[in-house]
Chain A
Amino acid sequence: MSGARLTIGVVDYGAGNLASVARAITGLGHRCRVTRDTETLAAADAIVLPGVGAFPAAMASLHEHGLVDFLRQQARSGQPLIGICLGMQLLADMSLEHRLTAGLGLIPGRVRPLAGARWHIGWNTIEIDPEDALLSPSDGQSLYFNHAYAFDTPPPYCIGVSRLADAFTVAVRRGKVVGLQFHPEKSQLAGRLLLKNVIEGLCRA
């Protein structure tokens, strides 16, 4: 599939800035379908789940549009799924943001307030598990973050951390399900390269 043009489905569920994600994907030379139509999403080479905002509202919107069971089913069937920012947190079992809310349950763990800081806003370096071929080329790069909660997940699923007072998870992976706490689409050249590696690496695997 190297060099082949991929079709990426971006889940449109009313949460956040879909156009920037779509523009970043087309900028990599791939087709992008921004939709909530499950047939279109299922036909894509990979699904991207973006997200800006709060966890409960985003999960409510996924439920409202009948996308929760669909995303679980597609992930379990092996279709690549990439969660970005809040989209990564939605992959968790649950979140404590505002109130206890169940997530998609695709990667074990829970989302809790950041420790040692109220927010994590701005550019921070990422430390990547050298065993992870998708993300390891981006080890040490600075990427843009904008969040107040962090995804606690057991070591097998944590493939990247950043640091405030302590290290916390910023990249997760379980097979072909990948979550990125930062915004690759808003991290200039470093973000574009990382997004390209993740999308093309997952689809090629």
Chain B
Amino acid sequence: MLEKRLIGVITVKDGWAVQSIGYRRHRPLGRPEVIAENLDRWGVDEILLQCIDRDAQGGGPDLALLERLCRRGLSTPLVYAGGVRSVSDGVRAVQAGAERIGIDALLHDDPHLAAELAEPLGAQALIAVLPLSVHNGALAWLDHRSRLSTPLAPALLDVLASGAISEVLLVDWQHEGVHEGFDERLLALWPMPTQPLIAFGGLSEPSQLRGVLERPNVVAAAVGNFLNHREHAVQRLKQSLAGLPLRAATHAPLDPARAWS
């Protein structure tokens, strides 16, 4: 049986993993490599590495960080998001160590170019990252560079309907980092009922995660800050979600070879 996924999110700004709150405030957590190793060891189903300053900087994906992570020998699938401006950026990010690519600003600038990434990488490797909020009862889509929100663009919906992008990471950006903050109206208002969705932003408690993961079109839930507070947080969370179609909690002992590398 294909299982739903619990994704651990590492948010990176200026090269450091940060706790992100509402896309505005950021508190340093430490080295992204260390957090990735913890998530890997704790048996999270997928890791999302999102470098939130790369789109605005225009410097492309953080390939050096991807390569450093890859050298650590992570055995958990890695999704990379941040700074993908072109097909070649996406291909280079995969070659540097990502299994899948999240695209955000490119969907505002040129959604059809985003779809062209499917030619070399395949649609299964592409995730649309959409920071959303509810405004006057409708979904509003944030461009985090300008901080302006607009309705979902028809061109974006066309690209998603074409199947060029496999999953949508639906981000409740206003409640990111807010305990139990996730606004489930974002899922209810999403206009494409068969589109596989990943919910992210303010998901912290098992009861809330259970409600989200019980929705048929939600294939994964992504958790960021709240996984970093205690050892083996992934296993504890999965044990609290027993009965859902999630992979059983796993645990790998700390690899001594990695401990001081």
- A121: nearest residue on chain B (CB-CB)? B124
Asked if A53 and B2 sit within 8 Å, CB to CB, the answer is no
A115 at the interface (CB under 8 A from B): no
Q: How many residues of B contact A (CB 8 A)?
A: 44
Cβ A183 vs Cβ B77 within 8 A: yes
Indicate if the CB atoms of B119 and A164 lie closer than 8 Å: no
B125 touches A53 (CB 8 A): yes
Interface of A is mostly: mixed
The answer to whether B77 touches A148 (Cβ under 8 A) is: no
Do A119 and B123 form a contact, CB below 8 Å, given A23-B70, A188-B250? yes
Q: Among the listed B40, B97, B124, which residue makes an inter-chain contact with A119, where contact means beta carbons less than 8 Å apart? A: B124
For window 146-166 of A, CB contacts with B under 8 Å fall at 146-148, 162-164
B28 part of interface (Cβ distance < 8 Å): no
164-183 of chain A: CB within 8 A of chain B: 164, 183
- For residue A197, CB closer than 8 A to chain B, the reply is no
Taken together as a complex, chains A and B put the C-alpha atoms of A54 and B124 apart, in Å, by: 10
**Is A124 interfacial (CB 8 A cutoff)?**
yes
Q: Which residues of A contact B247 (CB under 8 A)?
A: 123, 142
Interface centre among A18, A52, A98, A148 (most CB of B within 10 A): A52
Is there a chain A Cβ closer than 8 Å to B75's Cβ? yes
A192 is an interface residue with CB less than 8 A from chain B: yes
- Choose one: A52, A148, A164, A192; the contact of B2 (CB below 8 Å): A164
Interface membership of A196, Cβ < 8 A: no
Q: Which of B1-49 contact A (CB under 8 A)?
A: 1-5, 40, 43, 45-46
A52-B99, A122-B4, A188-B252 known; A23 and B124 CB under 8 Å?
Answer: no
Q: Please name all residues of chain B whose beta carbon is closer than 8 Å to the beta carbon of A163 when the two chains form the complex.
A: 1
A187 to B78, CA, bound (A): 11
Q: Is B122 an interface residue (CB 8 A)?
A: yes
B111-145 vs A, CB cutoff 8 Å, 1 = contact: the mask equals 00000001111111100000000000000000000
> Given A26-B73, A53-B125, A123-B45, 8 other A-B contacts at CB below 8 A?
A20-B97, A119-B166, A122-B5, A124-B3, A144-B77, A148-B166, A186-B75, A186-B77
- In the complex, 20 of the A-B residue pairs with CB atoms within 8 angstroms, ordered by the A residue number, are A17-B94, A20-B74, A23-B70, A24-B73, A52-B94, A52-B122, A53-B91, A97-B122, A118-B123, A119-B123, A121-B166, A121-B196, A122-B3, A122-B4, A122-B219, A122-B220, A146-B124, A147-B124, A186-B78, A188-B40
